[in-house]
A and B are shown apart, each in its own frame.
Chain A
Protein backbone atom coordinates (compact mmCIF):
# COMPACT_ATOMS: atom_id res chain seq x y z
CA UNK A 1 0.00 0.00 0.00
CA UNK A 2 1.20 3.45 -0.88
CA UNK A 3 0.21 6.23 1.47
CA UNK A 4 0.62 9.87 0.55
CA UNK A 5 0.43 12.58 3.21
CA UNK A 6 -0.18 16.23 2.26
CA UNK A 7 1.78 18.55 4.51
CA UNK A 8 2.06 22.30 4.50
CA UNK A 9 4.83 24.50 5.78
CA UNK A 10 3.47 27.36 7.88
CA UNK A 11 4.83 30.11 10.12
CA UNK A 12 5.27 28.91 13.69
CA UNK A 13 1.88 29.18 15.38
CA UNK A 14 3.51 31.01 18.32
CA UNK A 15 4.79 33.77 16.02
CA UNK A 16 2.99 36.97 15.08
CA UNK A 17 1.99 36.65 11.43
CA UNK A 18 1.67 39.54 9.03
CA UNK A 19 1.08 40.32 5.38
CA UNK A 20 3.88 41.69 3.19
CA UNK A 21 3.51 44.78 0.97
CA UNK A 22 2.83 42.34 -1.90
CA UNK A 23 -0.37 41.40 0.00
CA UNK A 24 0.71 37.84 0.66
CA UNK A 25 1.73 36.18 3.88
CA UNK A 26 5.17 37.41 4.95
CA UNK A 27 6.77 34.00 5.27
CA UNK A 28 10.25 35.34 5.93
CA UNK A 29 9.34 37.12 9.15
CA UNK A 30 8.54 34.01 11.18
CA UNK A 31 10.08 30.59 11.71
CA UNK A 32 8.68 28.00 9.34
CA UNK A 33 7.39 24.73 10.73
CA UNK A 34 5.37 21.71 9.65
CA UNK A 35 1.68 22.63 10.05
CA UNK A 36 0.87 21.31 13.53
CA UNK A 37 -2.29 19.58 12.32
CA UNK A 38 -0.43 17.76 9.56
CA UNK A 39 1.78 16.06 12.14
CA UNK A 40 -1.27 14.05 13.13
CA UNK A 41 -1.69 12.91 9.53
CA UNK A 42 1.97 11.83 9.34
CA UNK A 43 1.63 10.00 12.67
CA UNK A 44 -1.53 8.25 11.51
CA UNK A 45 0.20 7.10 8.33
CA UNK A 46 3.00 5.60 10.43
CA UNK A 47 0.46 3.83 12.63
CA UNK A 48 -1.46 2.45 9.65
CA UNK A 49 1.76 1.00 8.23
CA UNK A 50 2.72 -0.45 11.62
CA UNK A 51 -0.74 -2.01 12.03
CA UNK A 52 -0.51 -3.68 8.64
CA UNK A 53 2.83 -5.46 8.75
CA UNK A 54 5.19 -2.49 8.53
CA UNK A 55 7.57 -1.48 5.78
CA UNK A 56 8.50 -5.16 5.31
CA UNK A 57 4.99 -5.72 3.94
CA UNK A 58 5.83 -3.25 1.18
CA UNK A 59 3.95 -0.25 2.52
CA UNK A 60 5.42 3.17 1.87
CA UNK A 61 4.72 6.70 3.06
CA UNK A 62 5.42 9.66 0.78
CA UNK A 63 4.99 13.26 1.88
CA UNK A 64 3.70 15.87 -0.58
CA UNK A 65 4.14 19.59 -0.11
CA UNK A 66 3.70 22.59 -2.33
CA UNK A 67 5.61 25.57 -1.06
CA UNK A 68 8.72 27.71 -1.16
CA UNK A 69 12.30 26.49 -0.69
CA UNK A 70 11.80 26.38 3.07
CA UNK A 71 9.03 23.81 2.79
CA UNK A 72 11.91 21.32 2.74
CA UNK A 73 12.36 21.94 6.46
CA UNK A 74 8.79 20.81 7.07
CA UNK A 75 9.33 17.79 4.84
CA UNK A 76 12.50 16.86 6.78
CA UNK A 77 10.51 16.95 9.98
CA UNK A 78 8.00 14.48 8.54
CA UNK A 79 10.80 12.30 7.21
CA UNK A 80 12.47 12.30 10.61
CA UNK A 81 9.20 11.09 12.14
CA UNK A 82 9.50 8.09 9.82
CA UNK A 83 8.04 8.80 6.36
CA UNK A 84 10.07 7.22 3.53
CA UNK A 85 10.27 9.89 0.86
CA UNK A 86 9.00 13.32 -0.07
CA UNK A 87 7.81 15.27 -3.07
CA UNK A 88 8.32 19.00 -3.07
CA UNK A 89 6.47 21.09 -5.63
CA UNK A 90 8.42 24.26 -5.88
CA UNK A 91 8.12 26.84 -8.62
CA UNK A 92 8.52 30.60 -8.51
CA UNK A 93 5.26 30.98 -10.43
CA UNK A 94 3.35 29.43 -7.52
CA UNK A 95 3.82 32.39 -5.17
CA UNK A 96 0.45 33.80 -4.09
CA UNK A 97 -1.55 30.79 -5.26
CA UNK A 98 -5.13 30.63 -4.05
CA UNK A 99 -7.13 27.58 -3.02
CA UNK A 100 -8.16 26.79 -6.62
CA UNK A 101 -4.56 26.69 -7.81
CA UNK A 102 -3.22 24.90 -4.75
CA UNK A 103 -5.82 22.15 -4.96
CA UNK A 104 -5.18 21.76 -8.68
CA UNK A 105 -1.42 21.46 -8.28
CA UNK A 106 -1.75 18.95 -5.44
CA UNK A 107 -4.37 16.97 -7.37
CA UNK A 108 -2.09 16.72 -10.42
CA UNK A 109 0.78 15.47 -8.27
CA UNK A 110 -1.49 12.90 -6.62
CA UNK A 111 -2.62 11.71 -10.05
CA UNK A 112 1.01 11.10 -11.00
CA UNK A 113 1.77 9.28 -7.77
CA UNK A 114 -1.33 7.06 -7.72
CA UNK A 115 -1.43 6.44 -3.96
CA UNK A 116 -3.95 4.05 -2.37
CA UNK A 117 -4.61 6.35 0.54
CA UNK A 118 -4.19 10.11 0.94
CA UNK A 119 -4.04 11.60 4.42
CA UNK A 120 -4.28 15.32 5.20
CA UNK A 121 -4.71 17.60 8.18
CA UNK A 122 -7.99 19.41 8.81
CA UNK A 123 -6.68 22.92 8.37
CA UNK A 124 -3.52 24.93 8.04
CA UNK A 125 -2.70 27.20 10.96
CA UNK A 126 -1.95 30.16 8.68
CA UNK A 127 -4.76 30.59 6.17
CA UNK A 128 -7.12 28.23 8.01
CA UNK A 129 -9.45 27.74 5.05
CA UNK A 130 -10.05 24.05 5.68
CA UNK A 131 -11.06 23.44 2.07
CA UNK A 132 -8.07 21.94 0.23
CA UNK A 133 -8.88 18.25 0.96
CA UNK A 134 -12.49 18.45 -0.24
CA UNK A 135 -11.33 20.38 -3.31
CA UNK A 136 -8.81 17.66 -4.14
CA UNK A 137 -11.53 15.07 -3.63
CA UNK A 138 -13.81 16.91 -6.05
CA UNK A 139 -11.07 17.25 -8.66
CA UNK A 140 -10.01 13.61 -8.55
CA UNK A 141 -13.50 12.24 -7.89
CA UNK A 142 -12.15 10.34 -4.93
CA UNK A 143 -14.20 9.68 -1.79
CA UNK A 144 -13.37 12.03 1.08
CA UNK A 145 -13.74 10.95 4.69
CA UNK A 146 -13.46 14.10 6.76
CA UNK A 147 -12.97 14.75 10.49
CA UNK A 148 -11.61 11.26 11.09
CA UNK A 149 -10.95 10.54 14.74
CA UNK A 150 -10.17 6.92 13.95
CA UNK A 151 -8.91 5.26 10.74
CA UNK A 152 -8.75 1.55 9.93
CA UNK A 153 -7.55 0.28 6.58
CA UNK A 154 -8.72 -3.11 5.36
CA UNK A 155 -6.20 -3.81 2.63
CA UNK A 156 -7.64 -7.14 1.48
CA UNK A 157 -11.13 -5.67 1.14
CA UNK A 158 -9.65 -2.53 -0.44
CA UNK A 159 -11.49 -0.17 1.86
CA UNK A 160 -10.98 2.38 4.59
CA UNK A 161 -13.25 2.73 7.61
CA UNK A 162 -13.29 5.87 9.75
CA UNK A 163 -15.13 7.50 12.61
CA UNK A 164 -16.20 11.00 11.61
CA UNK A 165 -16.31 13.13 14.74
CA UNK A 166 -18.10 16.47 14.59
CA UNK A 167 -20.47 18.50 16.75
CA UNK A 168 -23.32 16.52 15.30
CA UNK A 169 -21.95 13.33 16.79
CA UNK A 170 -19.95 10.34 15.64
CA UNK A 171 -20.54 8.71 12.28
CA UNK A 172 -19.01 5.47 11.09
CA UNK A 173 -17.96 5.89 7.48
CA UNK A 174 -16.43 3.71 4.83
CA UNK A 175 -15.21 4.06 1.29
CA UNK A 176 -13.32 2.01 -1.26
CA UNK A 177 -9.64 2.83 -1.82
CA UNK A 178 -8.19 5.03 -3.15
CA UNK A 179 -9.66 7.63 -0.82
CA UNK A 180 -8.76 10.86 0.98
CA UNK A 181 -8.94 10.92 4.76
CA UNK A 182 -8.69 14.13 6.78
CA UNK A 183 -7.69 13.54 10.38
CA UNK A 184 -8.51 15.58 13.49
CA UNK A 185 -6.05 16.25 16.29
CA UNK A 186 -7.81 13.92 18.71
CA UNK A 187 -6.75 10.93 16.62
CA UNK A 188 -3.29 10.34 18.06
CA UNK A 189 -0.29 11.89 19.77
CA UNK A 190 2.39 12.62 17.15
CA UNK A 191 5.80 11.17 18.04
CA UNK A 192 8.88 13.30 18.48
CA UNK A 193 11.54 12.47 15.92
CA UNK A 194 14.28 10.36 17.53
CA UNK A 195 17.95 11.20 17.02
CA UNK A 196 18.17 8.15 14.78
CA UNK A 197 15.15 9.35 12.84
CA UNK A 198 16.67 12.79 12.36
CA UNK A 199 19.92 11.30 11.06
CA UNK A 200 18.08 8.89 8.76
CA UNK A 201 15.94 11.71 7.37
CA UNK A 202 19.02 13.48 6.05
CA UNK A 203 19.54 10.65 3.59
CA UNK A 204 15.94 10.24 2.51
CA UNK A 205 15.07 11.55 -0.94
CA UNK A 206 13.14 14.79 -1.49
CA UNK A 207 12.14 14.87 -5.14
CA UNK A 208 11.63 18.33 -6.61
CA UNK A 209 8.80 18.89 -9.03
CA UNK A 210 8.07 21.97 -11.10
CA UNK A 211 4.88 23.11 -12.78
CA UNK A 212 6.21 21.81 -16.09
CA UNK A 213 6.50 18.34 -14.56
CA UNK A 214 2.80 18.54 -13.74
CA UNK A 215 1.75 19.97 -17.10
CA UNK A 216 0.48 23.24 -15.63
CA UNK A 217 1.22 26.59 -17.30
CA UNK A 218 2.82 29.21 -15.01
CA UNK A 219 0.17 31.84 -15.81
CA UNK A 220 -2.61 29.53 -14.57
CA UNK A 221 -1.40 29.69 -10.96
CA UNK A 222 0.17 32.15 -8.53
CA UNK A 223 -0.99 35.70 -7.96
CA UNK A 224 -1.56 36.26 -11.69
CA UNK A 225 -3.75 33.20 -12.20
CA UNK A 226 -5.72 33.66 -8.98
CA UNK A 227 -9.49 33.54 -8.86
CA UNK A 228 -9.54 36.12 -6.12
CA UNK A 229 -7.67 39.33 -5.57
CA UNK A 230 -6.60 40.98 -2.34
CA UNK A 231 -7.51 44.66 -2.71
CA UNK A 232 -5.96 45.95 0.49
CA UNK A 233 -5.31 45.06 4.09
CA UNK A 234 -4.86 46.85 7.38
CA UNK A 235 -4.02 46.02 10.93
CA UNK A 236 -7.23 45.62 12.87
CA UNK A 237 -7.76 48.55 15.24
CA UNK A 238 -6.16 47.61 18.55
CA UNK A 239 -8.71 46.85 21.21
CA UNK A 240 -8.93 49.92 23.43
CA UNK A 241 -7.47 49.39 26.86
CA UNK A 242 -10.29 48.15 29.04
CA UNK A 243 -11.11 48.46 32.67
CA UNK A 244 -9.11 46.31 35.08
CA UNK A 245 -10.23 45.87 38.65
CA UNK A 246 -8.64 43.90 41.47
CA UNK A 247 -11.21 41.86 43.38
CA UNK A 248 -11.59 42.98 46.96
CA UNK A 249 -14.85 41.20 47.49
CA UNK A 250 -17.19 42.97 45.09
CA UNK A 251 -15.67 42.57 41.60
CA UNK A 252 -18.39 40.06 40.64
CA UNK A 253 -21.00 42.75 41.25
CA UNK A 254 -18.93 45.33 39.36
CA UNK A 255 -18.88 42.89 36.48
CA UNK A 256 -22.68 42.70 36.53
CA UNK A 257 -22.84 46.51 36.42
CA UNK A 258 -20.52 46.52 33.41
CA UNK A 259 -22.66 43.95 31.58
CA UNK A 260 -25.82 45.91 32.34
CA UNK A 261 -24.26 49.12 31.03
CA UNK A 262 -23.31 47.32 27.83
CA UNK A 263 -26.87 45.98 27.63
CA UNK A 264 -25.59 42.43 27.67
CA UNK A 265 -28.05 41.44 30.39
Chain B
Protein backbone atom coordinates (compact mmCIF):
# COMPACT_ATOMS: atom_id res chain seq x y z
CA UNK B 1 0.00 0.00 0.00
CA UNK B 2 1.18 3.47 -0.69
CA UNK B 3 2.56 5.74 1.97
CA UNK B 4 0.56 8.75 3.01
CA UNK B 5 2.94 11.17 4.71
CA UNK B 6 1.66 13.05 7.73
CA UNK B 7 3.66 15.95 9.10
CA UNK B 8 3.34 15.85 12.89
CA UNK B 9 3.40 19.19 14.64
CA UNK B 10 4.47 19.13 18.27
CA UNK B 11 5.90 21.21 21.09
CA UNK B 12 8.73 19.35 22.87
CA UNK B 13 7.10 16.04 21.98
CA UNK B 14 3.58 17.07 22.99
CA UNK B 15 1.77 16.19 19.76
CA UNK B 16 -0.72 18.71 18.36
CA UNK B 17 -4.31 17.55 17.95
CA UNK B 18 -3.95 18.08 14.20
CA UNK B 19 -1.69 15.01 14.05
CA UNK B 20 -4.51 12.72 15.24
CA UNK B 21 -6.80 14.26 12.62
CA UNK B 22 -4.25 13.87 9.81
CA UNK B 23 -3.43 10.26 10.78
CA UNK B 24 -7.14 9.40 10.76
CA UNK B 25 -7.48 10.90 7.29
CA UNK B 26 -4.28 9.23 6.07
CA UNK B 27 -5.60 5.78 7.02
CA UNK B 28 -8.57 6.27 4.71
CA UNK B 29 -6.16 6.79 1.79
CA UNK B 30 -3.29 4.36 2.42
CA UNK B 31 -0.64 3.61 5.03
CA UNK B 32 -0.18 6.43 7.50
CA UNK B 33 3.46 7.42 7.71
CA UNK B 34 4.14 9.97 10.45
CA UNK B 35 7.08 12.33 10.05
CA UNK B 36 8.23 14.30 13.05
CA UNK B 37 11.14 16.72 13.29
CA UNK B 38 13.14 17.15 16.49
CA UNK B 39 15.12 15.14 19.01
CA UNK B 40 14.94 11.51 20.19
CA UNK B 41 13.24 12.62 23.38
CA UNK B 42 10.58 14.47 21.37
CA UNK B 43 10.04 11.21 19.49
CA UNK B 44 9.76 9.15 22.68
CA UNK B 45 7.07 11.47 23.96
CA UNK B 46 5.18 11.42 20.66
CA UNK B 47 5.23 7.69 19.81
CA UNK B 48 2.36 6.57 22.12
CA UNK B 49 0.00 9.14 20.55
CA UNK B 50 1.08 8.31 16.99
CA UNK B 51 0.52 4.60 17.71
CA UNK B 52 -2.88 5.30 19.19
CA UNK B 53 -3.98 6.93 15.95
CA UNK B 54 -2.73 4.16 13.72
CA UNK B 55 0.61 5.28 12.30
CA UNK B 56 2.11 2.37 10.32
CA UNK B 57 5.57 3.86 10.41
CA UNK B 58 7.33 6.87 11.86
CA UNK B 59 10.37 8.79 10.69
CA UNK B 60 12.19 11.16 13.01
CA UNK B 61 14.03 13.91 11.18
CA UNK B 62 16.61 14.13 13.90
CA UNK B 63 18.21 17.42 14.75
CA UNK B 64 18.47 19.47 17.90
CA UNK B 65 18.42 22.62 15.82
CA UNK B 66 15.68 21.99 13.33
CA UNK B 67 12.83 23.50 15.29
CA UNK B 68 14.84 26.64 15.87
CA UNK B 69 14.15 27.52 12.30
CA UNK B 70 10.60 28.23 11.30
CA UNK B 71 10.41 26.15 8.15
CA UNK B 72 13.08 25.84 5.51
CA UNK B 73 15.24 23.16 7.11
CA UNK B 74 12.22 20.94 7.74
CA UNK B 75 10.98 21.37 4.18
CA UNK B 76 14.32 20.29 2.74
CA UNK B 77 14.47 17.15 4.89
CA UNK B 78 10.84 16.28 4.30
CA UNK B 79 11.12 16.71 0.53
CA UNK B 80 14.13 14.39 0.39
CA UNK B 81 12.33 11.78 2.45
CA UNK B 82 9.14 11.97 0.37
CA UNK B 83 11.17 11.42 -2.79
CA UNK B 84 13.27 8.55 -1.48
CA UNK B 85 10.28 6.73 0.03
CA UNK B 86 7.86 7.38 -2.80
CA UNK B 87 5.17 9.22 -0.85
CA UNK B 88 1.74 9.17 -2.48
CA UNK B 89 0.67 12.43 -0.88
CA UNK B 90 1.91 14.69 1.94
CA UNK B 91 -0.60 15.97 4.49
CA UNK B 92 0.17 18.92 6.75
CA UNK B 93 -1.93 20.95 9.16
CA UNK B 94 -3.33 24.21 7.77
CA UNK B 95 -1.59 26.26 10.40
CA UNK B 96 0.88 29.10 9.97
CA UNK B 97 3.80 26.71 10.26
CA UNK B 98 2.19 23.91 8.27
CA UNK B 99 1.53 26.25 5.35
CA UNK B 100 5.06 27.67 5.34
CA UNK B 101 6.49 24.18 5.12
CA UNK B 102 3.91 23.13 2.52
CA UNK B 103 4.72 26.04 0.19
CA UNK B 104 8.42 25.20 0.28
CA UNK B 105 7.73 21.50 -0.25
CA UNK B 106 5.66 22.22 -3.33
CA UNK B 107 8.51 24.21 -4.84
CA UNK B 108 11.18 21.63 -3.97
CA UNK B 109 9.10 18.71 -5.23
CA UNK B 110 7.68 20.65 -8.20
CA UNK B 111 4.30 19.50 -6.97
CA UNK B 112 0.88 21.02 -6.81
CA UNK B 113 -0.37 22.40 -3.51
CA UNK B 114 -3.83 22.71 -2.04
CA UNK B 115 -4.35 24.60 1.20
CA UNK B 116 -7.16 24.58 3.74
CA UNK B 117 -8.85 21.41 2.53
CA UNK B 118 -11.72 20.23 4.74
CA UNK B 119 -12.02 16.78 3.15
CA UNK B 120 -10.01 14.48 0.91
CA UNK B 121 -11.15 11.33 -0.89
CA UNK B 122 -8.99 8.21 -1.39
CA UNK B 123 -8.65 9.39 -5.03
CA UNK B 124 -7.19 12.62 -3.59
CA UNK B 125 -10.04 14.90 -4.61
CA UNK B 126 -10.04 17.67 -2.03
CA UNK B 127 -12.82 19.92 -0.80
CA UNK B 128 -12.05 23.54 0.09
CA UNK B 129 -14.51 25.89 1.70
CA UNK B 130 -13.73 29.33 0.28
CA UNK B 131 -14.97 32.92 0.37
CA UNK B 132 -15.91 32.77 4.02
CA UNK B 133 -17.63 29.42 3.70
CA UNK B 134 -20.02 30.48 0.93
CA UNK B 135 -18.56 28.19 -1.76
CA UNK B 136 -17.30 24.60 -1.80
CA UNK B 137 -14.61 23.74 -4.35
CA UNK B 138 -13.48 20.26 -5.40
CA UNK B 139 -10.01 20.06 -6.86
CA UNK B 140 -7.25 17.65 -7.57
CA UNK B 141 -3.52 17.96 -7.98
CA UNK B 142 -2.36 16.79 -11.38
CA UNK B 143 1.44 17.03 -11.15
CA UNK B 144 4.00 15.79 -8.63
CA UNK B 145 3.51 14.42 -5.11
CA UNK B 146 0.40 16.26 -3.90
CA UNK B 147 1.03 18.59 -0.96
CA UNK B 148 -2.21 19.21 0.91
CA UNK B 149 -2.87 21.17 4.08
CA UNK B 150 -5.95 20.21 6.09
CA UNK B 151 -7.89 22.67 8.19
CA UNK B 152 -7.76 21.86 11.92
CA UNK B 153 -10.99 20.36 13.29
CA UNK B 154 -12.24 19.36 9.83
CA UNK B 155 -11.60 15.64 10.46
CA UNK B 156 -12.94 13.75 13.48
CA UNK B 157 -9.99 11.81 14.99
CA UNK B 158 -10.60 8.07 15.30
CA UNK B 159 -8.26 5.82 17.28
CA UNK B 160 -6.78 2.67 15.73
CA UNK B 161 -4.20 1.08 17.96
CA UNK B 162 -1.02 0.06 16.19
CA UNK B 163 2.67 -0.29 16.65
CA UNK B 164 4.65 1.67 14.14
CA UNK B 165 8.10 0.83 12.83
CA UNK B 166 10.44 3.68 13.70
CA UNK B 167 13.42 5.03 11.79
CA UNK B 168 15.64 7.99 12.52
CA UNK B 169 17.26 10.11 9.87
CA UNK B 170 19.90 12.60 10.93
CA UNK B 171 19.41 15.90 9.15
CA UNK B 172 21.42 19.07 8.92
CA UNK B 173 19.61 22.23 9.82
CA UNK B 174 20.51 24.65 7.06
CA UNK B 175 19.82 28.00 8.56
CA UNK B 176 19.41 31.16 6.54
CA UNK B 177 17.35 33.29 8.89
CA UNK B 178 18.21 32.69 12.52
CA UNK B 179 16.29 33.11 15.73
CA UNK B 180 18.41 35.06 18.19
CA UNK B 181 16.07 35.02 21.16
CA UNK B 182 12.68 33.74 22.13
CA UNK B 183 9.89 34.74 24.49
CA UNK B 184 7.39 31.89 24.55
CA UNK B 185 3.77 32.91 24.88
CA UNK B 186 2.25 32.32 28.27
CA UNK B 187 -0.18 29.46 27.77
CA UNK B 188 -3.28 29.49 29.88
CA UNK B 189 -5.21 26.39 30.83
CA UNK B 190 -7.69 26.88 27.99
CA UNK B 191 -7.37 24.95 24.72
CA UNK B 192 -5.55 26.43 21.73
CA UNK B 193 -7.96 28.55 19.66
CA UNK B 194 -7.41 26.91 16.26
CA UNK B 195 -7.75 23.41 17.74
CA UNK B 196 -10.59 24.06 20.17
CA UNK B 197 -13.82 22.12 19.89
CA UNK B 198 -15.77 24.91 21.55
CA UNK B 199 -15.11 28.66 21.28
CA UNK B 200 -16.84 31.51 23.06
CA UNK B 201 -16.07 34.90 21.51
CA UNK B 202 -16.66 38.44 22.65
CA UNK B 203 -16.90 41.63 20.64
CA UNK B 204 -17.46 45.32 21.13
CA UNK B 205 -20.61 44.43 23.06
CA UNK B 206 -18.47 43.29 26.01
CA UNK B 207 -17.34 46.87 26.43
CA UNK B 208 -13.99 45.52 27.56
CA UNK B 209 -15.34 43.14 30.19
CA UNK B 210 -14.44 39.63 29.07
CA UNK B 211 -15.24 37.98 32.42
CA UNK B 212 -18.64 36.58 31.34
CA UNK B 213 -17.05 35.31 28.10
CA UNK B 214 -14.20 33.57 29.92
CA UNK B 215 -16.55 32.08 32.52
CA UNK B 216 -18.83 30.64 29.85
CA UNK B 217 -15.81 29.30 27.93
CA UNK B 218 -14.48 27.63 31.07
CA UNK B 219 -17.84 26.07 31.90
CA UNK B 220 -17.91 24.62 28.38
CA UNK B 221 -14.23 23.64 28.42
CA UNK B 222 -13.65 25.91 25.43
CA UNK B 223 -11.30 28.59 24.17
CA UNK B 224 -11.89 32.35 24.12
CA UNK B 225 -12.09 34.25 20.84
CA UNK B 226 -12.55 37.92 20.04
CA UNK B 227 -13.65 40.18 17.22
CA UNK B 228 -11.27 42.72 15.77
CA UNK B 229 -13.14 45.51 17.52
CA UNK B 230 -12.19 43.82 20.80
CA UNK B 231 -8.56 43.15 19.90
CA UNK B 232 -8.06 46.61 18.39
CA UNK B 233 -9.36 48.14 21.61
CA UNK B 234 -6.74 46.11 23.47
CA UNK B 235 -9.39 44.21 25.45
CA UNK B 236 -8.06 40.84 24.34
CA UNK B 237 -4.77 39.74 22.70
CA UNK B 238 -4.60 39.74 18.93
CA UNK B 239 -3.71 36.03 18.95
CA UNK B 240 -7.36 35.41 19.91
CA UNK B 241 -8.85 37.33 16.98
CA UNK B 242 -11.20 35.32 14.78
CA UNK B 243 -11.74 36.38 11.19
CA UNK B 244 -10.13 37.36 7.98
CA UNK B 245 -7.09 38.92 9.61
CA UNK B 246 -7.17 36.54 12.56
CA UNK B 247 -7.75 32.82 12.94
CA UNK B 248 -10.04 30.71 10.81
CA UNK B 249 -11.78 28.29 13.11
CA UNK B 250 -14.37 25.57 12.65
CA UNK B 251 -15.24 24.24 16.08
CA UNK B 252 -18.23 22.05 16.94
CA UNK B 253 -19.70 25.05 18.78
CA UNK B 254 -19.07 28.79 18.31
CA UNK B 255 -20.76 31.21 20.68
CA UNK B 256 -20.62 34.86 19.52
CA UNK B 257 -21.46 37.39 22.24
CA UNK B 258 -21.77 41.08 21.44
CA UNK B 259 -20.46 40.57 17.90
CA UNK B 260 -22.38 42.06 14.96
CA UNK B 261 -21.19 39.59 12.32
CA UNK B 262 -19.25 41.71 9.84
CA UNK B 263 -18.23 39.80 6.70
CA UNK B 264 -14.59 39.80 7.87
CA UNK B 265 -15.55 38.17 11.17
CA UNK B 266 -17.80 35.59 9.50
CA UNK B 267 -14.95 34.66 7.15
CA UNK B 268 -13.18 33.14 10.15
CA UNK B 269 -16.02 31.22 11.80
CA UNK B 270 -18.79 30.54 9.30
CA UNK B 271 -17.89 26.87 8.92
CA UNK B 272 -18.40 26.18 12.63
CA UNK B 273 -20.78 23.26 13.05
CA UNK B 274 -23.17 24.93 15.50
CA UNK B 275 -23.36 28.71 15.93
CA UNK B 276 -24.94 30.38 18.93
CA UNK B 277 -25.43 34.15 19.10
CA UNK B 278 -26.15 36.53 21.95
CA UNK B 279 -26.77 40.09 20.77
CA UNK B 280 -28.94 43.00 21.90
CA UNK B 281 -29.79 44.06 18.37
CA UNK B 282 -32.34 41.76 16.67
CA UNK B 283 -31.16 43.13 13.29
CA UNK B 284 -27.49 42.17 13.77
CA UNK B 285 -26.34 40.25 10.65
CA UNK B 286 -24.77 37.52 12.78
CA UNK B 287 -28.31 36.18 13.42
CA UNK B 288 -28.45 35.11 9.76
CA UNK B 289 -26.01 32.29 10.45
CA UNK B 290 -27.14 31.41 13.98
CA UNK B 291 -28.52 27.98 14.83
CA UNK B 292 -29.65 29.40 18.15
CA UNK B 293 -29.89 33.16 18.60
CA UNK B 294 -30.72 35.08 21.73
CA UNK B 295 -31.80 38.70 21.42
CA UNK B 296 -30.61 39.95 24.76
CA UNK B 297 -27.93 41.43 26.96
CA UNK B 298 -24.84 39.27 27.10
CA UNK B 299 -24.26 40.35 30.71
CA UNK B 300 -27.52 38.65 31.67
CA UNK B 301 -27.63 35.73 29.24
CA UNK B 302 -24.04 34.48 29.44
CA UNK B 303 -23.87 34.25 33.26
CA UNK B 304 -27.24 32.49 33.34
CA UNK B 305 -26.01 29.96 30.79
CA UNK B 306 -22.75 29.49 32.73
CA UNK B 307 -24.67 28.81 35.92
CA UNK B 308 -27.00 26.41 34.10
CA UNK B 309 -24.10 24.43 32.63
CA UNK B 310 -22.34 24.23 35.98
CA UNK B 311 -25.56 23.05 37.64
CA UNK B 312 -25.93 20.28 35.06
CA UNK B 313 -22.39 19.12 35.48
CA UNK B 314 -23.06 19.01 39.21
Contact = CB atoms under 8 A, between A and B. Distances in A.
B245 A37 contact: yes
Contact of B289 (A19, A137, A239): A239
Interface residues of A, number: 79
B293 A242 contact: yes
Interface in B228-259: 238-239, 244-245, 248, 252-253
Contact of B136 (A103, A147, A172, A233): A233
B178 A174 contact: yes
Contacts of A240: 291
Interface in B104-144: 104, 106-108, 110-116, 125, 129-131, 133-144
Given A18-B131, A236-B135, A132 B103 contact: yes
A251 B295 CA distance: 9
Contact of B142 (A186, A229, A256): A229
Given A19-B135, A252-B304, A258-B276, A135 B291 contact: no
A227 B244 contact: no
Interface string A129-148: 11111110111011111110
A28 interface: no
A175 interface: yes
Contacts of A129: 99, 103, 113, 115-116
B71 interface: yes
Interface string B150-187: 00000000000000000000000000111111111100
B103 A164 contact: no
Interface residues of B, number: 90
Interface stretch (B17-25, B38-46, B49-57, B305-313): B305-313
Interface in A213-265: 226-236, 239-240, 242-247, 250-256, 258-260, 262, 264-265
Contacts of B96: 130, 146-147, 166-167
Interface of B: 11, 70-72, 75, 96-97, 99-100, 102-104, 106-108, 110-116, 125, 129-131, 133-144, 176-185, 192-194, 198, 220, 238-239, 244-245, 248, 252-253, 263-264, 274-276, 278, 282, 287-297, 300-309, 312-313
